[in-house]
Structure 1
Amino acid sequence: MKKILIIDDEVNVAQLLSKFLTRNGFEVSAASSGTSGLEYLKNGEFDLVLCDFRLEDTDGREMLKKIKKHYPQTGVIIITGYSDIKMAVELIKMGAYDYISKPLYPDEILNTITKALETHHALVEEDQEQGEPQGNVKANRKQASSGIVVGTSKASKELARQIELIAPTNYSVIILGESGTGKEEAAKSIHMQSRRSNQPFIAMDCGSLTKELAASEFFGHEKGSFTGAFATKIGHFEMANGGTLFLDEVGNLSYEIQAALLRTVQERKVKRIGSTKEIDLDVRIIIATNENLLDAIQKGRFREDLYHRFNEFTIYMPPLRERGNDIILLAEHFLKTANQELNRNVSSFAPEVVECFMNYRWHGNIREMKNIVRRAALITEGDQISIKALPLEISNYKNAYEMPSIQYHVSESNEAPRNDLKNIALEAEYDTILRVLKEVSYNKTKAAEILNIDRKTLYNKMKAINLK
């Protein structure tokens, strides 16, 4: 069970956070001051600290310095009010993993904590490895912190070579590949192997942005600059200043936002909505897409000049089906992380499972594998994942191209009651969403159109059923 320390002098906030995180499977301690927080750290090991920026006896900056000095393997997330966001961004540059702004929203808190813990454990594992050649330690640390798994196949070795080649430069990069191939992990690896590795890496999902919110998310806004602007907001460009800005599903941006984006990239300056002050930018941009931008240019949906601004170097992410023995390497990696997450001790895959994995087409690539291995680890009662723990689409791998709807084999003790309408509805919804996503190669915009829901609703439903 992962241990989290909350440091906040607002007792009500600390209590609510403690109850929420405890319900979500964490072991939580709470301190009401910086001094007592340091005592907790002195007397026990914690995976993560949630620290309020404004404390009665100190502030977030001093706490971060002390935690990083004395407990370097403990991650730190800063809790901040809107007026302190600029300072929170500076703290990220000093080594904080991220910040959460008040008011606090459960989904945002849980998502940020989950990502922080994944990064933390990857680093700890790398530190604990024995017999590592000295020359590889730095590179392996960067790969671990980015979450990318370097394989042994020809495709994986070429990918690693290209990342190593482009990382030290300031070139903008386009990462191409099917959905689920690990484009964000590749972007993080480029960042971590660059001279910007100690600066922020800010990821932005353009596919979930509405036309109305996009400008504010990119460039920020001043308080009162438009209806609903109740506080000043720092945009993603400003947050990433000095570091790397990763734009995923960039092909979904409106033509108007593309024009504003082009001006910002060309001039290397950003101006918040409602402000007359220009802020100088030093940001490396990495974009990712699963669609053909050249085709989008021909159809008038994407600006050619913006494409050429981004296209200083292109990396292709191979689909999982083209990565040979990496398939089992990745499955073992996800089993290891699932054991940590679920506090299980599943050690291996049965031979027939290995055969299924090697023969299956993996329509959803690495993302699909991660979800399937996690679910299989959850329902496995012994120390080996058997064929019965897999969905039919994989266990019946000879017909995998037909993509039948998902049906999981579970033991009777774990099976939901057949008359439980809520569980039946959730299963049907999961099957339908996954089937449509596969049909459109995980293009969320197209999937939302087919399902007759907006993108935001689709993202929320995917999050609810652990489809990331």
Structure 2
Amino acid sequence: MKSILIIDDEINICTLLSKFLSKHGFKTDSTMTGAQALKMMKEEAYDLVLCDYRLKDTDGAQLLNDIRALRPQTVVIIITGYSDVRIAVEMVKNGAYDYISKPLYPDEILGLVNKALSQPAPSAQGPAVAPHAHEERPQPGEPGKNGGGKYVYGESEPSKALFRELTLVAPTDYSVILFGETGTGKESVAHLIHDHSSRSNQPFIAIDCGSLSKELAASELFGHEKGAFTGAIGTKIGAFEQAHGGTIFLDEIANLSYDIQVALLRVIQEKQIRRVGSMKEIAVDVRLIVASNENLFEAVQKGKFREDLFHRFNEFTIHIPPLRVRNEDLPLFVDSFLSQVSKELNKPEPVMTEEVWDCFRQYDWPGNIRELKNVIRRASLLTPSGKEITMAALPLEMKAGGFSRLSSAAAAAPSSTMEDSDEMPDLPMLDENDLKSVALKAEYNKIINVLKAVKYNKTKAAQLLNIDRKTLYNKLRLLNINY
């Protein structure tokens, strides 16, 4: 039977905790002073100590040091009030297993006690490691690595300049804004920053803010309690709690609603989150990396993004160059993706004809690296084993010969103007006398024009087309549009 010592200067808390934990199979003792607690610990080796931070004769920090010196194998959990949360976090760094804040919830206490006692005993050589360092967190998304497990760094001058900036800011704890067109690899750069930082062994959590509805954003970011709203059938841990100790990456940050921007500003300032439906504050230690394919400063000027939140993020900004200005890197990316896709498909790595290479070099890649990878995946799938990738395996927009090129003037024009000025491309695979083919060509042309008008921001494109993002993605797949 595991033994627990409860130290609190409120007799009611000692009594309630003793009765509750005894019912769940623990042997419990309690005391109201630190001096008496140390005396009891000299006589008996307790498995775990629940210790209030504020005691009449000492404080939790001093008592923690005394306990660590006396019984280094004993697990210590700190009980703290709201005003002492930051101190409790420091105590966790100095050897406490974790902390729990008032008001106390029985299920939470029992869960934490069971979890603490299931861990290996703390080492006598130094402070215990906070549990967050051991927890396995979900790792959403691919980290942007090639088939060999390494990043494709690039040899062009824009790529070298990007890496220089990245290696400068990565070891710091600065918040970073990543600005670049869609598909330029912003999440991969965020992973690189995390991997080159002191937080590299901690979680990396990526959130696509563009896919979050106003109603669900708070729950996804900060979590919720059971019964907080209709459909909340259980407690949910939000992204900030999942990323504790590590890095959180917020993609398409400009799409967050004003209310969530306000809540996010408070979290950054206070370093605490509050789950939806809860009054309890939870301390979080995360590094923020945010990304946008539109200029956040311009969004501030237009009143779409909070200026104070922008300045909180803007400790360091990295501009990620588009693929069209990194032609020297194209062979590196192609070789990497061909190798990766051959492993995915379990077939020999194909080679490309010179005609395909010429097409790749001349194409301006509006969807950037993501489009390149999708094109190679499609072409590799369509090409039989042992055969070369030919023009027949490329998508229609590439074979249309410059259809994806867009002048800066046209990019700024409204979609209606673009639709009038851009001639519908010749799509040879469709029968011009077939009504369905005509409709598909018109839909294809409209989607391309709108994507151009909004600089390939799919969230904005869906809004302009009056469809949701899921429908737009389905149409992109149906029409083989790789943006």
Q: Check whether TM > 0.5.
A: yes
Deviation at 1:432, TM superposition (A): 5.8
Using the alignment, how far apart are the partners of 1:91 and 1:436 within structure 2?
Answer: 48
Letter of the 1:451 partner, please give it: L
Q: 1:407 to 1:346 in 2, by over 3 A?
A: farther
Q: Is residue 355 from structure 1 mapped to residue 333 from structure 2 by the alignment?
A: no
Letter of the 1:340 partner, please give it: K
Which of 288, 291, 299 matches 1:288? 291
Partner of 1:13: none
Which of 338, 342, 345 matches 1:339? 342
Q: 1:449 to 1:394 in 2, by over 3 A?
A: same
* Most deviating of 248-257 and 221-230: 221-230
Q: 1:153 to 1:287 in 2, by over 3 A?
A: same
Q: 1:325 to 1:222 in 2, by over 3 A?
A: same
Which of 351, 369, 374 matches 2:372? 369
Matches for 1:127-138 after TM superposition, within 5 Å: none
Q: 1:84 to 1:379 in 2, by over 3 A?
A: farther
Identity of aligned residues (%): 53
State TM-score, norm by structure 2. Answer: 0.63
Q: 5+ unaligned residues in a row in structure 1: which ranges?
A: 1-82, 100-111, 127-143, 410-414
Using the alignment, how far apart are the partners of 1:427 and 1:340 within structure 2?
Answer: 35
* Most deviating of 433-442 and 169-178: 433-442
Using the alignment, how far apart are the partners of 1:407 and 1:281 within structure 2?
Answer: 53
Using the alignment, how far apart are the partners of 1:462 and 1:243 within structure 2?
Answer: 35
Partner of 2:468: 454
Q: Is residue 98 from structure 1 mapped to residue 138 from structure 2 by the alignment?
A: yes
SS of equivalent residue, structure 1 residue 441: coil
Matches for 1:187-336 after TM superposition, within 5 Å: 187-336=190-339
Letter of the 2:462 partner, please give it: A
Query: Deviations along 1:126-160, whole A, 9 cap, x unmatched?
Result: 5xxxxxxxxxxxxxxxxx2xxx4211000011111
Partner of 1:72: none
Query: Deviations along 1:402-440, whole A, 9 cap, x unmatched?
Result: 78669598xxxxx9xx99x8x999998777655543442
Query: Deviations along 1:246-267, whole A, 9 cap, x unmatched?
Result: 0000001111110110000001
Partner of 1:30: none
Q: 1:299 to 1:435 in 2, by over 3 A?
A: closer
Q: Is residue 440 from structure 1 mapped to residue 454 from structure 2 by the alignment?
A: yes
Preserved contact between residue 205 and residue 247 of structure 1 (Cα < 8 Å): yes
SS of equivalent residue, structure 1 residue 348: coil
Using the alignment, how far apart are the partners of 2:401 and 2:253 within structure 1?
Answer: 34
Matches for 1:369-448 after TM superposition, within 5 Å: 369-381=372-384, 382-398=386-402, 400-401=404-405, 433=447, 436-448=450-462
RMSD across aligned positions (CA): 3.5
Q: Is residue 155 from structure 1 mapped to residue 158 from structure 2 by the alignment?
A: yes
Using the alignment, how far apart are the partners of 1:430 and 1:288 within structure 2?
Answer: 28
Using the alignment, how far apart are the partners of 1:440 and 1:372 within structure 2?
Answer: 22
Using the alignment, how far apart are the partners of 2:428 and 2:381 within structure 1?
Answer: 12
Using the alignment, how far apart are the partners of 2:237 and 2:380 within structure 1?
Answer: 40
Q: Which structure: larger Rg?
A: 2
Q: 1:221 to 1:163 in 2, by over 3 A?
A: same
Letter of the 1:385 partner, please give it: I
Using the alignment, how far apart are the partners of 1:152 and 1:310 within structure 2?
Answer: 29
Using the alignment, how far apart are the partners of 1:286 and 1:163 within structure 2?
Answer: 12
Q: How many residues align?
A: 339
Deviation at 1:383, TM superposition (A): 3.1
Q: 1:152 to 1:274 in 2, by over 3 A?
A: same
SS of equivalent residue, structure 1 residue 197: coil
Using the alignment, how far apart are the partners of 1:228 and 1:268 within structure 2?
Answer: 28
* Most deviating of 165-174 and 324-333: 324-333
Using the alignment, how far apart are the partners of 2:201 and 2:438 within structure 1?
Answer: 47
Deviation at 1:387, TM superposition (A): 2.1
- Structure 1 runs of 4+ aligned residues shifted over 6 Å read 83-87, 423-431, 463-466
Q: 1:321 to 1:188 in 2, by over 3 A?
A: same
Letter of the 1:373 partner, please give it: I
Letter of the 1:162 partner, please give it: E
SS of equivalent residue, structure 1 residue 349: coil
Partner of 1:182: 185
Partner of 1:106: none
Using the alignment, how far apart are the partners of 2:203 and 2:292 within structure 1?
Answer: 22
SS of equivalent residue, structure 1 residue 98: coil
Using the alignment, how far apart are the partners of 1:312 and 1:278 within structure 2?
Answer: 26
Preserved contact between residue 200 and residue 239 of structure 1 (Cα < 8 Å): yes
Deviation at 1:321, TM superposition (A): 0.3
Preserved contact between residue 400 and residue 425 of structure 2 (Cα < 8 Å): no
Letter of the 2:295 partner, please give it: N
Letter of the 1:447 partner, please give it: A
Letter of the 1:437 partner, please give it: L
Q: 1:272 to 1:348 in 2, by over 3 A?
A: same
